[in-house]
Structure 1
Amino acid sequence: MNWLSARADYIGQIKGELVLKRALLGIALSAVLVLSACSSSQSSSGAANEPKDLVVAFGSEPVTLDPQDTSDGISNNANELIFDKLVTLDKNNAIVPQLAKEWTTSPDGKKITFKLREGAKFTDGTPVNAESVKYTFDRVINKDNKLNRYSLYAEFIDKVNVDSEYQVSFDLKFPFGPALITFAHTNGGIQSPKNIKEKGKDVGKSPVGSGPYKVKEWVPGNKLVFEANPDYWGEKPKMRTITFKPVAENSARSVMLETGEADIIVPVVTTDVDRLKSNDKVKVSVEPSSRNLYMSINTTKAPFDNPKVRQAVNYAVDKETIVKKILSGQAKVSDAAIGEMVWGYSSAGAYPYDPEKAKQLLAEAGVKPGTTIKLWTPDGRYLMDRQIAEFIQGNLQAVGFKVEYRKWEFGAFQEATRDPKAEFDLALNSWGTSTNDADWGLRPILMTKGASNYSKLADPQLDALIDKGMKAASPDERKKIYSDALKLVKDQAPWIFLLDYKQTTGYRSNLDNVYSWSNERLILRDVVKK
C-alpha cells in the first residue's frame, strides 16, 4: 500500500536526523562529563529530587479545554489535569471522592447530595464552593449554551441546589443508575465561574480549574504545556511540566519513545509493539478498552438512505483482515454497537465478509456500478485510522463504488462532520463509552437528537428504546432493553461496524504509575519519573 512506503520514507528521514543529533551530542559529551565531575554529590542529590518534565505524544491534539464542551479523548486527557470533579475514579475504576468528601442518595433515588471539602481553590484564587458547582452544571444543562455535553447531564438533572456554602444537591428527573459514574466523567470538571464570565466563548482556550496543573502555553499544532499548580489543595503535583505533542505519524511516535524525545506515546502502532517490548528502556501496556471504531454512514443521502445499501457495505468490508493484518490482532471484530467492556452489552452478531452478498443487495437496491461516494477519515487520531480507511476504500471499490477519499486533521474533521450540510457519505469515527454504561454508549451517537449522531439516523423505535433504557429502574430490565436496541441498530446499519480497540500505551521504563481507566482516559496525575 502507499502508506507503507510513505511510512518507510518518513522513518528514514527521522532516523537520519537522529544520527546527526547523536553525533552532536557526542561532541558535547566530554564537556558535560567535565562539568559533572566538578559538581558536588550534594547538588547531584538535590537535582535527583527536583520536579521533572514529562512529554506525551498523541496522535492528534486537544480540540478544547472546556470540559463541558469536550467530546474527544485527548481533550479529556488534558482536562483531567486541569479540573477536579465532585467524584472521580481510582486506578481500579472504582468511584472515590474528589471535591466532594461524601455524598448521599435519597431513598427514591431522585436526589443526590454532595458535601464539599473546604479550602479548595481555583487557580485564579477564587474558592471552590457549592455556588461554583451549581454554576458549572447550570451552564451545561442550559440548552441555549449549545455545549457538546448538554445531553450527558441535562437528560437526568432537573435542578441544582446550593444547600450551604459547601453542600450542593441535585434533583434528578428520575432515578438514574449511572448518575455517580456520570459525575465522575471528565466532562463533570468544575470550572471557575469568574473565568467563564471573563473569557466567554474563549474559555476553552484559557481554562481555569482547581486541578494539580494549569495551562502554561498552547501552540496549536505544536504543543500544549501544563505547569504544576503550586497551591493545589491535594497531593502536590509530581511533575514540573507536562507537555502534550501532536504526532500524527504512528511510527514517528515510536521513534520518539525509543530515543527519549517522548516519555509516553498513545497509541502505539501495532507493527511496533513487539520491537518496543524488546527494548529494556521501554514498556508497552495493552489493556481492555471500551472504545470501538466504526464508519458512520450518512443516512440522509442517497443511496444510503436505503437500509439495504447500508447492510451491503457492511458485507463488503473485510473486518477480520483489518484486525489481523492492520492491527496485528490488537482489536476484535465488533459484534454490537457497543463493546463487551460496556455494561449492558450483548452480541447482536457481526456482519460476515461477503462481497457477493454486498453486490446482490446493491443490485436489488438499484445502485449502479461506478456510483461515486465520498469517504472521509481523520489522520492520526485513532490507531491506524488512515490505513484502515484506505483499506475500506479498496473493499468498496471492489463491489462497484467509485470512492473519493479525503483525510483530515482531527479538529477540522470533527467540525466538518458535525456540519448539518456535511457532504460525506462515509466518515470514520470512534466512540469511547466513557461512563462504561450502555446509555452513554448509544444515546449520544444513535438517538435522533444525539450530539454525536454523525450518521444522522432518525429511528423513532430506537429512540424509544434508548429513552426507556435510561429511565428503567431495574438493571435486568435495562439489559433486556439494550439487547433489543442493539439488534435494531444492527438491522438499521447506520454504520459499517468495524472493531473494538484494545488500548496500547508506550512509556519509558523510568516512569511509574502510568495507567489508563477502561474508558481510555490516560491518567497522568500520578506518574512518577525516576
Structure 2
Amino acid sequence: MLSRLPGLSRRLFLGAAGGAALTGLLAACAGGTGGTGDPGDTASAGGGPRTVPASPPGTPKTGGTLRAGSPPPPTAVDPVTMYDGSAIAIVQLVADYLIWLDRDFKLVPRLAERWESEEGGERWVFSLREGVTFSDGTPLDAKAVKATFDRLLDPKSKSAAAAAFDSVLARGGIGVRDDSTVVFTLERAFSDFPYLVSAGNYNAVILKEDYAGDFTARPVGTGPFLLESYDASSGAVFKRNPKYWEPGKPYLDGVRITFYADDQADLLALQSGEIDTQILSRPALVGPLKGLGGTVVDQVQGTGLTAFTLRVDQAPFDRKEVRQAIAYALDRPGVNAGVYDGIGALGNDHLFAALFPAAPPDVPQRAKDPAKVASLLAAAGVERLSFKLTYDPPSKDYALTVQDQLKQVGIEVELDQRTSGDFYGGDQEKDTPWLFTPANLVGWAGRAVPSQFIIPMVKSGGVWNGSKYANPALDAATDAYDSATTDEERRTQAAIIAKALHEDVPVIIAVWSGAVRAYAGDRFTGVSAHPSSYVDFSSVSRL
C-alpha cells in the first residue's frame, strides 16, 4: 500500500519540491489583525524584494479589517465554474478544500485529516476532520464531499475542474464508506491524486450536498470568513466565521475587497493607503514599490506559464525544424526580465518546471542562437518565415516581446489580439481561437503536478491540446509516470516526456512565471504570495 501522510511535503515524499495555476488569473488600516503568516524573506543579491519577518513578534493581534484590491470578476462568482483570480479569492475566503496547497506545494490537511492509497494507487481513502460544520450549522460529512465531486464531474456543470480528472476519475467513482470516510476509485493508478482534490484544483472547494448555484446570494461554506455582501461592480465584504474549524482563527474581524477597473487604479489605491494588499499583483507594476513607505512585495517561485503553441498539423509548423528555429530565436532571460520583472525561471520547452521533483537535469538548456535559427530554416526549405500570433490582452506584453525578438532574426510576426471572450469563445471542439489558431499564446496558472499540464495539453487527444501533437511514446510514458511508485521510475519516465517535448517543440515554454503580492508590511503580517495567486487570510494579523 502506498500511503501519503497528512501534510507530507513532496520534497520529502518524492525527493524535491512540487509545482502548482488558467492564468491568475492574480494601506492604512482602520484597525488591523493579528497573525502568524509566512511572508518569507526572499531578498536577493540581484535586487529581490525586501520582506518583513515571517512571523509577528509575540501573540497575534486579533481584530481589524484587511482591505484588498482586485479586478472585478469577469463572470459569476460560482465555485463550480470560476476560473479567474478574483472569483477564486472570494470563494477561498468562504469555502475550504479537503487539502490546501501551500506556497511550497506541501499538501496541508484541511477538511481531510488524512488520506492513503489502496490497490496500488487505484483507490484513495480520505478521512474527514471531525466536528466541522458549514456556516449555516450543517455538519460536514462524506455525502457533501461526494456530491461536490459528482457535481464537478457532471458535464452539465461545465466546470473547468473536470479536465483535471480526465482519464483519472470518472463520475460514479466517488463512494461513501461512512459519515467521515470518502473513497475515490480511479480509472487507473495515479500516485499524485491528492493534488487533484486539493486547492491545486481550484474548483474543488467542498460545498453542501444541496448546492444549486447563486453562491453570492447563498454563500455557505466551511472557510474562515462569511460573505456579508457582494456587488459585481464595487466589491465584497466579509466578516469572521465564528464556526470556523481551526481554533482561534481567523485573527481578522473581516476582509473588504474593492474592485478596480484596471491595474493602475489598483496600484494607486495601494500607494495611497486606500487598500492594504492586492489579490492579483503584477510583478512589473509593483516591483518599483519594494520597500517604499512600508510596502512589501513578497515573491515566490511557481509553475505558471505562457504556452507559445504551434499547430504541428499545419504548415509551416508541420516541420519540426521550423518549430525548433522559433525556439532558438527567443532570448529567454529577456522574456523573463521584460514580462516577469525577472522573478521567473527559464523554461526549456518541456513541461517539467525545476520545482517539480522529477524534472530532468540533463536536458540542455535552449538559448538564443541566430546561426542555429538560420540553419534550421534552411533545412526546412523556408527562405522567409512569417506567421500570425493570436492572443488575448493578458498576454500582450509577452506577444510584443516575442514579435520584437523574432524580428531580430528575420522572422516576421503579425500580432492578432482578441478579447478574452473571443479568444476563449466559440466551439471548444472545432473553432475556439485558443485551441485552433496556427500559433497562439495561452496563459496557464500554476499546476501542482506536471500531469495537469501534460495530459490536457500535449497527450494525444488531450482536451486542451492546441498544438494537435500526438506521440505514442509520450502517451505511454505519461501513464507510467502517473502510476510510478518510486522516485527512480518517475524520473525515468519524466526524462522520456521532457526529451520528446524538447525535441518536437509543440509548445515553447520560455519562462516559468513566479508570483508576487504587495502589501502594507508596516501594518500587517501574514500576507504572502502564492504560486497560483491564491489567498489564505486566516493567519493575517495586524502588527
Q: Equivalent residues in 2 for 1:359-438 (5 A)?
A: 359-367=374-382, 369=384, 371-379=386-394, 385-398=395-408, 399-406=410-417, 408-409=419-420, 413-415=423-425, 420-423=430-433, 424-435=437-448, 437-438=449-450
Match of 2:301 in 1: 288
Instruction: For 2:415 and 2:282, locate their aligned partners in 1 and report how far apart those are by CA, in whole Å.
Output: 28
| Structure 2, gaps ≥5 residues long | 1-60
Match of 1:136 in 2: 148
Query: Residue 190 of structure 2 aligns to which amino acid in structure 1?
Result: F
Instruction: For 1:189 and 1:413, locate their aligned partners in 2 and report how far apart those are by CA, in whole Å.
Output: 27
Instruction: For 1:370 and 1:204, locate their aligned partners in 2 and report how far apart those are by CA, in whole Å.
Output: 50
SS in 2 for 1:193: coil
Structure 1 pair 109–462 and aligned structure 2 pair: CA distance change class (3 A): closer
Deviations 1:28-65 (A, max 9, x none): xxxxxxxxxxxxxxxxxxxx96541421336x746564
Match of 1:44 in 2: none
Superposition RMSD in Å: 3.4
Paired residues in the alignment total 469
Deviations 1:437-477 (A, max 9, x none): 32224223222343443333333332222122112222211
Whether 2:152 is the aligned partner of 1:152: answer no
Match of 2:255 in 1: 241
Query: Residue 341 of structure 1 aligns to which amino acid in structure 2?
Result: L
Match of 1:278 in 2: 291
Deviations 1:364-414 (A, max 9, x none): 4455647441331333xxxxx4222112122334524350331534x6544
Match of 1:21 in 2: none
Deviations 1:258-296 (A, max 9, x none): 2112322332433652x4223132111122222233322
Match of 1:352 in 2: 367
Match of 2:6 in 1: none
Larger mean CA deviation between 253-262 and 240-249 belongs to 240-249
Match of 2:520 in 1: 508
Contact 2:351 2:450 in 1 (8 A): no
Contact 1:294 1:499 in 2 (8 A): no
Instruction: For 1:224 and 1:304, locate their aligned partners in 2 and report how far apart those are by CA, in whole Å.
Output: 46
Structure 1 pair 452–191 and aligned structure 2 pair: CA distance change class (3 A): farther
Q: What is the Cα deviation at residue 94 of structure 1?
A: 3.6
Whether 2:489 is the aligned partner of 1:477: answer yes
Match of 1:192 in 2: 208
| Structure 1, gaps ≥5 residues long | 1-47, 380-384
Q: TM-score, normalised by structure 2?
A: 0.75
Contact 1:293 1:429 in 2 (8 A): yes
Q: TM-score, normalised by structure 1?
A: 0.77
Contact 1:312 1:358 in 2 (8 A): yes
Whether 2:308 is the aligned partner of 1:298: answer no
Contact 1:195 1:207 in 2 (8 A): no
Q: Equivalent residues in 2 for 1:240-279 (5 A)?
A: 240-243=254-257, 245=259, 248-249=262-263, 252-265=265-278, 266-270=280-284, 272-273=286-287, 275-279=288-292
Structure 1 pair 356–222 and aligned structure 2 pair: CA distance change class (3 A): farther
Contact 2:338 2:401 in 1 (8 A): no
Q: Which has the higher helix share?
A: 1
Query: Residue 317 of structure 1 aligns to which amino acid in structure 2?
Result: L
Deviations 1:197-225 (A, max 9, x none): xx3xx669976432223445555565455
Instruction: For 1:204 and 1:480, locate their aligned partners in 2 and report how far apart those are by CA, in whole Å.
Output: 47
| Structure whose CA Rg is larger | 1
Query: Residue 131 of structure 1 aligns to which amino acid in structure 2?
Result: K
Match of 2:473 in 1: 461
Which fold has the larger relative contact order, with Cα–Cα distance below 8 Å and residues 6 or more apart in sequence?
Answer: 2
Instruction: For 2:260 and 2:515, locate their aligned partners in 1 and report how far apart those are by CA, in whole Å.
Output: 18
Instruction: For 2:254 and 2:159, locate their aligned partners in 1 and report how far apart those are by CA, in whole Å.
Output: 32
Match of 1:308 in 2: 321
Q: What is the Cα deviation at residue 137 of structure 1?
A: 1.6
Instruction: For 1:343 and 1:519, locate their aligned partners in 2 and report how far apart those are by CA, in whole Å.
Output: 18
Instruction: For 2:177 and 2:229, locate their aligned partners in 1 and report how far apart those are by CA, in whole Å.
Output: 38
Q: What is the Cα deviation at residue 485 of structure 1?
A: 0.3
SS in 1 for 2:308: strand
Of 95, 98, 119, the residue aligned with 1:83 is 95
SS in 2 for 1:351: coil
Structure 1 pair 422–371 and aligned structure 2 pair: CA distance change class (3 A): farther
SS in 2 for 1:466: helix
